[in-house]
Amino acid sequence: MVRRAAVGAPILLMAYGLLRLLDGLDGTYRQGLAWNLALPALFASMVLFGVLAAAVRPLVPSGARAVAALAAVATVAGAVCFVWTVTGLLSTAAGEAAPTPVRIAGPLLFALGMLTILGLLVAARRAPAWSPLLFGAGIAAMLIDADSLAPAALILLAALAPLARPSVRA
């Protein structure tokens, strides 16, 4: 499960970024086939990031498991905020778009949770030291410019690639 989530989540995020760019070629967003395909890709990506956070938590040494559990909860909470926002955008039946605090808290919780988990995996020698650094760079690129989602997702894929190795899952 770790391998599929570590690879699948950034790939789906990249698909979202590319479809979002395609949707915006006419100067407007949120209309058309590309937008309707992009949001489910983002939804699935966030679900997989949450799964990844929960799946790697047991790989952390026992002394840091409480911190890893809190980081996994933060990551999942951030992913839920993203999913809430996406659900609101996908369907008017889901109600209004997520409130501003949810849209702000989501990326922060997500980033802090994943960075903490990756840092703990580095300390446990299950991930290289550059992994959280690359992940942070990818998150920063996404937050600075939403049009950089596709290349940022490639950076996240590179950051998470070491988690797909069989030695990490053992």
pLDDT tens, residue by residue, 85-112 = 777 766 654 456 678 888 888 889 999 9
* Three-state DSSP state, 43: helix
Question: Which helix H or strand E contains 5, and what residues bound it?
Answer: helix 2-23
Question: Do residues 148 and 141 lie in contact, with contact meaning Cβ atoms separated by under 8 Å?
Answer: yes
| pTM as predicted | 0.89
pLDDT tens, residue by residue, 121-134 = 999 999 999 999 99
How many whole angstroms separate alpha carbon 55 and alpha carbon 126? 14
Domain ranges across the chain: 2-169
Identify the pLDDT of residue 7. Answer: 96
pLDDT tens, residue by residue, 48-79 = 999 999 999 888 988 999 999 999 999 999 99
Q: What is the dihedral of CA 98, 101, 107, 111, to 10 degrees?
A: -140
Task: Report percent pLDDT > 70 for the chain.
Answer: 92
Give φ, ψ of 3 to 5 degrees: -60, -50
